[in-house]
Amino acid sequence: MSARRVFAIFRRQYYGAIHSPPMLFDLLLWPLLDLMIWGLLTLFIEKQQASLPLPVGFLLGGVLLWDILFRANLGISIAFLSDASWSRNMINLLVSPLRPVEYLSGAFLFTVFKLVVGWGVMILGARVLFSFNVFDIGLALPSLLLIVMVFGVALSMVVLGMVLRFGDGADILAWGLAGLLSPLAAVYFPLSVLPAWLRPIALGMPPAHVFEAMRAVLAGRAPPWGSILTAVALDVVYLAAAFGFVQAMFRAYRRRGFVTRHM
């Protein structure tokens, strides 16, 4: 793998973003808008004197962690769609010396950059506007962030595989796949709220363990390290399966001539 080609993909995405007002809106203002919506909702709940445990912390913590997952998925997916699908540039990528793993690594590097900037805005907004400090989660926070980010990357690979297999009609999955899974992730409510038959399915995905752990810590309990380790193990399984899936779809893409969809 060439570090030079990986960094070239990062630079291509970076220059495209800083010269695009819509991209800057997505990078800087959209995270703050999302935070404002949920933050104001939690303040309204508090003013109604609803007996909810730490509603601001639970909901804002959920917003902040979910943003990491959603943007990790969206960052790599949108990079691929803009470079290959929407611009009809796939043939140029295929005939270049760029390897798929190098492209994914460069897109991931830019996604991490976007996460740092966007999450910095959200952390500052949560602190200034709603007096919520995400670092109150403590030592468990780095583990929770890594778990949701890796799961978001796994989702992005599934999206890439679906686009390679089914063409432009699968583009909507870049936004929709994570949204479809959000109820099972128990982002804004305890896992116990789900119907009994859905809980085993939810526990089979890493995000449910992450958000349950977050609520446990914010409620003053010790971090459930056993559940966190389970989420790490599930992450490894999902990432390996997603990588295998996108590789299989890429081989089929070349073998069956699906490249003509992007000409």
What are the backbone dihedrals phi and psi of residue 99, each rounded to the nearest 5 degrees, phi first? -95, 150
Domain residue spans of the chain = 3-262
* Interior/surface letters 98-108, b for 16+ CB within 10 angstroms, e for the rest: beeebbbbbbb
pTM higher than the cut 0.95: no
Which H, E and C letters describe 183-244, residue by residue? HHHCCCCCHHHCCCCCHHHHHCCHHHHHHHHHHHHHCCCCCCHHHHHHHHHHHHHHHHHHHH
Number of C-beta neighbours around residue 66 at 10 A = 22
Q: What is the pLDDT along the chain (263 residues), one digit of tens a residue?
A: 777 778 787 887 777 777 777 776 767 777 777 777 777 777 777 676 655 555 566 777 888 888 888 888 887 878 777 776 666 666 666 666 777 778 778 888 888 888 888 788 888 877 887 777 778 777 888 889 899 989 988 998 888 888 888 777 777 777 778 888 888 888 888 888 888 888 899 899 999 999 988 888 887 788 888 889 999 999 999 999 998 898 888 887 777 666 655 55
Number of C-beta neighbours around residue 21 at 10 A = 7
Tokens of 219: 């409620």
Measured CA to CA, the distance from residue 94 to residue 155 in angstroms comes to 23
